[in-house]
Amino acid sequence: MSFERFDLHPGLHQGLEDAGFFQPTPIQESAIPPVMEGRDLLACAMTGSGKTAAFLLPIFHRFLTVPGTGVRALVLTPTRELAMQIIEHADMLAYHTPARSAVIVGGVSMDPQERALKGNVPLIVATPGRLMDHMRFPYVDFSKVEVLVLDEADRMLDMGFLPDVQRIIRSLPKEGRQNLLFSATIPRPIAELAGEILRDPVRIDIERPSAPAEGITHTIFPVAQDRKDELLLGMIRRGRFESVLVFSRTKQRADRLARFLKRCGVNCACLHGDRSQEERLGALNGFKSGRYAVLVATDIAARGLDVTALGHVVNVDVPRSPDDYIHRVGRTARAGATGEAFTFVAPDEERTLSFIQKRLKLEFRREGETGFDAAPRPAADHPHASRKRRRPRRRDGSRPPSP
């Protein structure tokens, strides 16, 4: 089956061909026809399923075949990274057409975004928080919005954006608006929101992966918690991988690990929610281009991150759940390729890893690195420990004067 069956605008077919997309994914095959017919949609689909093109193609086809003015379609998405990736897809698919789009996200100047909103760019892709910032001003006019897309609705709920999303929806036209809701899961608040905004929706449920891709090799490295950074550095220096995405559990831990690697001469970048938009884009683009050999990230990068030909993922901290493990290691072995997932496990993480292994029915190889084991090192030998030494005391308990 090819995209020809959808009878899209010729410029969109040219964009698909340039991008190397010749056959629709299951979500595209199921979603594009009803969306082109103007139906509302409730789709349960994961990141990486092709859902972005499933809503962009019908939206652009509408722009190109049905006259209209102003902001005609609004896409709300939870993170800056995902918004930027949607815009990249939009630019690629609409390259041979006059259809325009703009992104509204935090961490960058509001001025170009204000110009886009004033200029009535037909497609706006936005994160809820920054869009709410703009909506305080009169230049925002959503009175002509024809299509609303809520992308990764469950993540917007998890991140506390649902009240903002509801306020934004109340500013849109109620009559004649097409609504498309995409979510990996449908918790009760999302089901209630769907019931409020969707009219007789087409329901699509693309099966969620219950295990990582077949082409991934899973390897465990038992190591003391305070020696994980050194183990990673040693593997990098021995050429175990040329390019690697490293997942850390917290933002502070990611920052600390990135600083350690940089001090040791490793070209690396850090990606998490507290970084500015410029820093996040620089980190991601630098990693994609090969300028950085290592990208240290929190789970914000596990969902929606699109990096081709990534051969290795390292969980420097054991993920919290089986779903988190699937999302993390799913950044490798994409599109039928092979990849390796390494997990560093400290003694107090063995129980969590065992649960993940049993739930996902995975076979983990256990390896060891010479000089590393699960026993913690003396505090004075820790790579981040202070080198300050205490002066010896005299027999009477006093300290001699400093030299």
Domain termination residue (choose one: 205, 232, 249): 205
- Residues 200, 259, single domain; the answer is no
Residues 231 and 181 in one domain: no
Residue 131 lies in a domain: yes
Which pLDDT band holds residue 107 (cuts at 50, 70, 90)? confident
Q: Side by side, which strands form the sheet with 178-183?
A: 101-104, 123-126, 73-76, 147-150, 178-183, 41-44, 202-205
pLDDT at 389: 44
Q: Within 13 Å and on the Cβ side, how many CA atoms surround 28?
A: 23
The lowest-confidence range among 201-210, 213-222, 325-334, 356-365 is: 325-334
At position 247, the amino acid (one-letter code) is F
Domain that holds residue 169: 3-205
CB atoms within 10 A of CB 62: 21
Are both 157 and 28 inside the same structural domain? yes
Task: Record the pTM.
Answer: 0.64
- Where b means 16+ CB within 10 Å and e means fewer, 253-290 reads bbbbbbebbeeeebebbbbbeebebeebbbbbebbbee
Residues 236 and 193 in one domain: no
Task: Please give the Cα distance from 93 to 105 (Å, whole number).
Answer: 21
Q: Which range, of 129-138, 156-165, 380-389, averages the lowest pLDDT?
A: 380-389
CA pair distance 231, 229, nearest whole angstrom: 5
Task: Pull the structure tokens for residue 63.
Answer: 């722009």
φ/ψ of residue 26, rounded to 5: -55, -40
Domain-located, residue 384: no
Residue with tokens 């909506």: 135
Which DSSP helix (H) or strand (E) runs through 259? Answer: helix 251-263
Indicate whether 238 and 129 sit together in one domain.
no
What pLDDT, on the 0 to 100 scale, is given for residue 213?
63
Domain match, 167 and 231 both: no
Instruction: Provide the domain count of the chain.
Output: 2
Examine residue 227 and state whether it is found in any structural domain, yes or no: yes
User: Within this chain, do residues 20 and 116 fall inside the same structural domain, yes or no?
Assistant: yes
Are residues 84 and 116 part of one domain?
A: yes
CATH number at 221 reads 3.40.50.300
Mean pLDDT calculated for residue range 207-221: 74
Distance CA 208, CA 210 (A): 6
In a shared domain, residues 35 and 103: yes
